[in-house]
């Protein structure tokens, strides 16, 4: 058996899940791609980036400015 199969069997045993041999083989076949995808989530290079301390949903406040302009025009 492959190391992916052994890993999947170990993970299933640790989680208490009881799968059929067919289900285990299917999971083991997809495990390397799934593991690579999860590992890629941790490879994002953000170490030198500034933290985001404020959430601004509008890009540079353009939506808010347009809304104010529309509101001011309706006052007349």
Higher pLDDT, 30 or 1: 30
As a whole number of angstroms, the distance between CA 5 and CA 28 comes to: 5
Per-residue pLDDT, averaged over 32-60, amounts to 80
Cα angle value 35/41/44 (rounded, 5°)? 140
Give me the chain's average pLDDT, please. Answer: 81
Lowest mean pLDDT, pick from 26-30, 55-59, 63-67: 63-67
Quick: pLDDT tens for 42-53: 887 777 777 777
Q: What is the pLDDT of residue 51?
A: 77
Domain locations in the chain as residue ranges: 3-41
- Other beta carbons less than 10 A from residue 8's beta carbon: 23
To the question of pTM greater than 0.75 for the whole model, the response is: no
Is residue 24 within 8 A of residue 9, CB to CB? The reply is yes
């Amino acid at each position: 058996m492959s190391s992916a199969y052994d890993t999947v069997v170990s993970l299933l045993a640790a989680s208490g899940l009881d799968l059929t041999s067919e289900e285990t083989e299917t999971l083991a076949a997809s495990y390397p791609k799934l593991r690579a995808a999860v590992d890629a989530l941790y490879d994002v290079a953000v170490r030198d980036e500034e933290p985001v301390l404020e959430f601004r949903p509008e890009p540079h406040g353009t939506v808010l400015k347009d809304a104010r302009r529309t509101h001011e025009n309706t006052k007349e």
